[in-house]
Amino acid sequence: MLASIRDLRARGEALALCLVAATTGSTYRKAGALAVIGASGVRHGVISGGCLESGLEAAAAQALAARAPRSVVFDTQGDDDLLFGSASGCRGRMHVLIVPVPASGPHALCDAMQSADREHQALRLAVLLDGPQVAQGWAWLSGQSIALGNAPLELRALEALAQGERRVSIQGAMRACAVIELPPCPRLLLIGAGPEAPVLIRISQQMGWYVTVLDHRDALLEANASLADARLTARPAAGLAQCAATVDACVIMTHSAANDLESLRALAPRAEGYVGLLGPPTRRDELLHQLDAGQRTRLAPRLRAPVGLHLGGHGPEALALSIAAQLQAYLAGAE
């Protein structure tokens, strides 16, 4: 979504930022989900399986024409929706804020989102869901408060509250608002540009993950990692020393015992919660035996070896899919 915003504005096109602010019941997407709709009608992202997108696009066009934020509620909880509405049968309610963004110039919410991504920090929001100040409120990032429009001071008291819909008294009137948390884009480091890398890179990027590939072999980087978001030409230890401390998950797939061992030693003192190691259990055990006891202890709760879920199948494509599935479970907190 952030790349879509940058691309549209670079082309001089205004856009509507569509943010799922709150949900109840069964909904396809949850609070914090984003979609971007350009003034030309191009859409990036979804808030449903397709049943609500036409309504979202119409509302976005109205917000862009009026140059004013809108609040839209999609309610599929009642039987009437099956006959006269979306016919999705989801039985949920979704509150979506639609914020027009001009083609150029500063924009508080978009700028805060971009800053949060650069700092790899979650962005917290408290915004109004109704009335003339809809979508206005506060954002918090790295201890700083950022005003979104004519931000009511009363909403600043919501900074530490859990995500969800609220009612707050503002100048004597009760107003609906939402606390939303936008997590940062997950960052994945692949150590090794082997045959699994191209498919894993494509899947990861479709999932919205930022992928860096590290390998000292230029030919492999050029052949298998040309589509990565970033590439590092270095041996494992030297490359890891260059990486920011904000890598969320790391997969070792060098197809070289010496390089894998160097990677494990360099990763042991780091903080990544997920360290995947390609290869069979016998090879894993031989590599771990060459580490000292402290390194094995630090890696033990984080190491997935053999990496990936057991989905069946053979070859680099099946292996990349199994790794991506395990990464998704880890990054979503479903492990």
User: pLDDT tens, position by position, for the chain (335 residues)?
Assistant: 888 999 999 999 999 999 999 998 888 888 999 999 999 999 999 888 777 888 999 999 999 999 999 999 988 765 444 333 444 546 688 999 999 999 999 999 999 999 999 999 999 999 999 888 999 999 999 989 999 999 999 999 999 999 999 999 998 889 999 999 999 999 999 999 999 999 999 999 999 999 999 999 999 999 999 999 999 999 999 999 998 677 999 999 999 999 999 999 999 999 999 999 999 999 999 999 999 999 999 999 999 999 999 999 899 999 999 999 999 999 999 87
Q: Report the alpha-carbon distance of residue 139 to residue 271 in Å, rounded.
A: 28
Q: Report the alpha-carbon distance of residue 184 to residue 138 in Å, rounded.
A: 18
At a CB cut-off of 8 Å and minimum separation 6, what does 169 contact?
154, 175
Superfamily of domain 187-331: NAD(P)-binding Rossmann-like Domain (3.40.50.720)
Question: Which amino acid is it at 139?
Answer: A
At a CB cut-off of 8 Å and minimum separation 6, what does 74 contact?
47, 48, 52, 55, 56, 86, 93, 94, 96
C-beta atoms surrounding 48 within 10 Å: 22
pTM (two decimals): 0.86
Angle, helices 2-10/108-119, rounded to nearest 10 degrees:
130
Burial class of residue 211 in the structure, from the number of CB atoms within 10 Å of its CB (0-12 exposed, 13-18 middle, 19+ buried): buried
- Structural domain boundaries in the chain: 1-104, 106-184, 187-331
Contact 206, 328 (CB under 8 A): no
Burial class of residue 87 in the structure, from the number of CB atoms within 10 Å of its CB (0-12 exposed, 13-18 middle, 19+ buried): exposed
Q: Report the alpha-carbon distance of residue 311 to residue 333 in Å, rounded.
A: 20
